[in-house]
Structure formats: C-alpha cells, structure tokens
Amino acid sequence: MIRRLLTLTLLSLTVPALSAQDLVPIPLELPKPLFVGTPVPIKVPNLEKATGVKRPPFLAPAGTVNLAKDKEVTASDTFPVIGDTPFVTDGDKDGSEGTYVEYGPGLQWVQIDLGKSAPLYAIVMWHFHAQARVYHDVIVQVSDDKDFKTGVTTLFNNDHDNTSGLGAGTDMAYIETAEGKLVDAKGTSARYVRLYSNGNTTSELNHYVEVEVFGKP
C-alpha cells in the first residue's frame, strides 16, 4: 500500500513536469526548395479531358429556350481590351481568338437585358476555355432593377472572402472547360442578369466567350 502511494505521488509529480517539457516546439526540419532551370512552356487545351465526366442533362419545363441570344449587353468596362461586348450573347462559343471579349483588370461585370421579366431556369457561362483557368470571385445575380439596387437574387457566388464587397459566397471555384459553368436559376423571375468576375489564375483580366440564359419567354 505504501509502495502504491509512493508510486502515485511520484507519478503526480512527474506528469506536470513532462507536460511542461512537451510544450516546446518540435525541431521540425522541412525540405528546402530545389533549384531548377527555366520552366518549360506547357499547352493545356482545357481540363475537360482531365475530368472525364460529362455534365448530366439539366431538366427544365418544356418550352424553355435561351432568352439571351443577341440580347443587349452592357459592361462595367465600356472599352474592352479585346473584342466587343455583343460577343457575350452572339451564340459563338468557339472560344478561339476573335470569339471572346476581354475586359480590364480587377472586378468587372457584364449585364444582359432579356427585354422583359421571365422565369429563369439555368444560366450557363463560358469565360475562357482554351486553357486551364479559374476565374476569381464569380458572382451571378438576377433582378428586375437594371441598377441592381433592389430585388437582387444571387444565384451563384464563389467569392469566399468577400473581395468583391458584394458579400461572401459559399459556392466552389471551378476550372473553366468547354462545357461551361451551369448555374441553377431555380425558376427565379427577372429581366436582368449580371455576372461578375475578378481576374483569373492566368492574368488580372476578365473574359467572356458566351453567356446563355434559359427561361420561358
């Protein structure tokens, strides 16, 4: 019994001492960077092949059509660096040179006027799919107010740290592919569609090959 008590007393003295000793940083040695030569240029047409998964068909009420085709488009950057703003809804999704519009650096938006309010089911956007890229802070909003001050519904937002100042979003960032990004509009009625982006993983510029807005006329 005395031996047990002695052992317990010794243990009770040792454990705090061990705990105090454990609180020092471990001598972690991390590998240093390897010095290498000039990186080699790579050519990645897009990542569609890499994913290998085709998007399942998106179901919408019968009679749903692309309401955006050839509709009026405005943009925050009124003088695009390359291309013209009407490219956004001209129906050409090829993605090669001469089929996309390039806007200046930083947060930029394009806005499509559908002519009248209509129930919307899906919005599909192609920023640029000739290369593996991620566009930052992609936000898709719809409204009946052309200034987007009232009645704004946000359908997609992957600005996780609120860089844009439009509120933080929880949607995932994605790599551009020729398939485009489909956003479920959930039948929301609106006349205007506004899409934001804030540069991409290749440059600070913003691009649109095409945007399609599916709804019932």
Partner 1 sequence: MNSNRSSRWLEWVLLALVLVLALWLRLADVAARPMHADEANQAVKLGGLLAGEGYRFDPSDHHGPTLYYFSEVVARWRGENNLAALTEFTVRLTPVLAGVLAVLLLWILVRPLGRWPALLAALLLAVAPAAVYYSRYFIQETLLVTFTLGAFVCGRAWWEKRGLIWAVGTGGWLGLMLATKASALVLVAAACLALAACRRTSRTPWREVAVVGVVAAFVAAAFYSSFGTNLGGLRDALVTPFAMLGRVAGGESGHEKPWWYYLRLFVYQKQGGYVWDESVLLLPALVGAGLGWRRGGLSRFVAVYVAVIALVYSLAPYKTPWQVVNLVPGLCILAAITLASVRRWVAVPLVLVVLAGLGWQTRQAVFLRPADERNPFAYVHTVPDMVKVPAIAAAVPAGPVKVIGREYWPLPWYLRARPAVGFWTEPPTDCDGVLVFVEADQAEAVRARLKGNYTESFLGLRPGVLVVVFTRVGA
The window from 6-14, 33-41, 85-93, 148-156 that contacts partner 1 (CB under 8 A) reads 33-41
Q: How far is the CB of 117 from partner 1 (least distance, A)?
A: 35
Q: How far is CA 47 from the centre of its chain?
A: 15
CB 46 within 8 A of CB 65: no
Number of residues near partner 1 (by CB under 8 A): 39
Stretch that binds partner 1, among 15-23, 66-74, 114-122, 133-141 (CB under 8 A): 133-141
Alpha helices (runs of H) in the chain, residue ranges in sequence order: 2-22, 48-51
Tell me if 173 contacts partner 1 by CB under 8 A: yes
Q: Mask 51-90, x = binds partner 1 (CB under 8 A)?
A: ------------------------------xxx-------
Residue 204 as a binder of partner 1 (CB under 8 A): the answer is: yes
Interaction of residue 165 with partner 1, rule CB under 8 A: no
State which of residues 13, 18, 23, 39 lies at the interface with partner 1 (CB under 8 A).
Answer: 39
Tell me how far, at minimum, the Cβ of 106 lies from partner 1, in Å: 11
Q: Go through 84-113 and write b for each residue having 16 or more CB atoms within 10 A of its CB, e for each that does not.
A: ebebbbbeebebeeebbbbbeebbbbbbbe
The DSSP letter of residue 15 is H
Beta strand spans in the chain (E): 65-66, 72-75, 101-103, 107-126, 139-143, 153-157, 181-184, 189-198, 206-208, 210-215
Which residue of 102, 144, 179, 184 would you call a contact of partner 1, by CB under 8 A?
102
Classify residue 178 by its DSSP letter.
Answer: T
Q: How many CA atoms lie within 13 A of 134 on its CB side?
A: 9
| 28 binds partner 1 per the rule CB under 8 A | yes
Q: Which of 48, 65, 113, 134 binds partner 1 (CB under 8 A)?
A: 134
Q: Among 65, 119, 153, 175, indicate the residue that binds partner 1 (CB under 8 A).
A: 175
Q: Do residues 118 and 209 lie in contact, with contact meaning Cβ atoms separated by under 8 Å?
A: no
Residues that bind partner 1 (CB under 8 A): 28, 30-44, 50, 81-83, 97-98, 102, 131-134, 136, 160, 172-173, 175, 199-205
